[in-house]
Chain A
Amino acid sequence: MSNTETKENNTTENVQAQEVKTPEVTTEQNQPEQKEVNKENGLDEEQKLLLRTGQGINLVPKQSKQEIKKEEKKFSLSISSILSLILLVILSLGIVFYNIISTNQLSSAKQKRNEMESQLQAYSDKYISHQEIIERIDLYKNVKSAVYSPREVVEYVMEIVERQSNIEIRGFNIDDSLEFEMSGETDNLETVAKLWYMLGVDRYILNINLAGVSKTDTGANFSFEGELDRDKFITN
């Protein structure tokens, strides 16, 4: 026998036992006592009918434990449904109000912005004049950012060259990116090599190439190409 069937049998037996007992209890001798009890309890007619009386068997069954649990579950589900519906309503109202407030804030801000634009129209001429000045200032800053001192550049390189006393520079070219070409002559190739080394180890000469060297009757001609560090010579 399964547990469910066992319980059902027990329930049936309990009901049967209660129904059997009912006639013993509900005698005419006990009626006055029961009526007194009913009166004391203050029960109405409907409730009295539900009680066992000596005149018949109360066939309205008591609820089983499962039914009670079911009713409780139904009650809790109903409560949770009601609560969720309330939450739904509150959420809906909240979102709608949030939307309305956001829209109103945006429209008032846009209105204020339009008003400010209208006010600024009166400053048009002054604004145009200001912008013309600023454009020229910007151009001035851009041009000046590329300005270097040619004397400073030439003298810097010449100072390295003059460490060797027997070198004569014939030409020196500089362009905007501080790349230079230097040509000259000296009395021997060893001096050219030394000069190349000294230019190469200088920290502000980023790179140096011996573009050409030739030996002559009097010595050697040379030509170097190099690049100087812009950060050193362009400070604007």
Chain B
Amino acid sequence: MAGSKKQEQNPNPRASRDLGKVGEKAKKSRLTISDLIIPIGAGVILLLLSLFLFVPMIRTARESQAELKKVNSDIEHLEHVKISLDEIDDTQIVNDLVMVKRVIPKVLQVADFVYYIDNLANSKNLSAGELSVSDRLASNGVTSSLSYSGSYDDVLDLVDEIHDYSPYLVILRNIELSGGSNNWTVEFEITGYYMPEQEKKIDFYQPFTKYTNFSDIMDEFSIKVQKLDEIE
């Protein structure tokens, strides 16, 4: 009992110092910067890596994906071209090329198609007027001015049938009808088309449609070629 009182009156000085330190420690119970170094450092590293490494890598990967999409589309197109060409018979394509080249040849002169117009006009008892050749309109057309005279119906029949009668690809322009009663005169310009030889550039990536899909036009070419064969 006496001992405990003594201790109460005169506590251990070392204990007092330690108790003081406890008080100080209590004051330092908050988080400090040193405690946050690792989390902040991890965050900064993550941010820097994201900016300078991840973002460019993701961008590169997305560009690769976009280019991959385009390349796959090219592959699909090339496969379509290959399959389509395989479906066309070699002999058939050669024959069809010869046929279309006769209707739209490499070179065309006015006399080539005017000959047929004259034949048609004669069959309708029309008399020919003046003939003149104009300058070439474009790189693939030659134009001539023609005039014929006859009855109203015959003159209209002539201009109506020229397109179908001609074995070449022609078109009428600037049709002028004049006259009265039973004598009418028709003057018009007629352009015949050709396709000159050009240096062929192979580009498999151009849009490709099989020519056999245009069977109706190929049939019209066939009819025109038959007219050429009749004369020849």
Contacts and interface: CB of A to CB of B under 8 A. Distances in A.
Interface of A: 4, 7-8, 11-12, 15-16, 19-20, 23-24, 57, 59, 61, 64, 66-67, 69-70, 73-74, 77-78, 80-81, 84-85, 88, 91-92, 95-96, 98-99, 102-103, 105-106, 109-110, 112-113, 116-117, 119-120, 123-124, 126-137, 139-141, 143, 146-147, 149-152, 154-155, 168-176
A95 B88 contact: no
A131 B227 CA distance: 25
B156 A151 contact: yes
Contacts of B211: 130, 133-134, 137
A64 B25 contact: yes
Nearest to B68: A106
Nearest to B29: A66
Contact of A150 (B14, B46, B169, B172): B172
B129 interface: no
* Ranked 8 nearest A-B pairs via Cβ: A66-B29, A102-B64, A150-B159, A151-B156, A61-B22, A172-B177, A109-B71, A171-B178
A153 B19 CA distance: 118
B26 A66 contact: yes
Contact of A23 (B3, B27, B39, B220): B3
Nearest to A91: B54
Contacts, number: 229
Contacts of B46: 84, 88
A218 B93 CA distance: 66
B4 A20 contact: yes
A127 B202 contact: yes
20 contacts: A4-B26, A15-B22, A19-B12, A74-B31, A77-B31, A85-B42, A88-B49, A95-B58, A99-B64, A116-B75, A117-B204, A131-B200, A133-B97, A135-B195, A136-B100, A139-B104, A147-B163, A151-B156, A151-B160, A154-B156
A154 to B, nearest CB: 6
Contacts of B35: 70, 73-74, 77
Contact of A127 (B38, B61, B104, B204): B204
A57 B23 contact: no
Interface of B: 3-4, 7-8, 11-12, 14-15, 18-19, 21-23, 25-27, 29-31, 35-36, 38-39, 42-43, 45-46, 49, 53-54, 57-58, 60-61, 64-65, 67-68, 71-72, 74-75, 78-79, 81-82, 85, 88, 90, 93-94, 96-97, 100-101, 103-104, 140, 156-157, 159-160, 163, 169, 171-180, 193, 195, 200, 202, 204, 206, 209-211, 214, 217-218, 220-221
A190 to B, nearest CB: 22
A141 B213 CA distance: 13
B177 A171 contact: yes
Given A8-B26, A88-B42, 12 more contacts: A16-B19, A23-B3, A61-B19, A78-B39, A92-B53, A95-B57, A124-B202, A130-B88, A130-B210, A132-B97, A134-B209, A136-B195
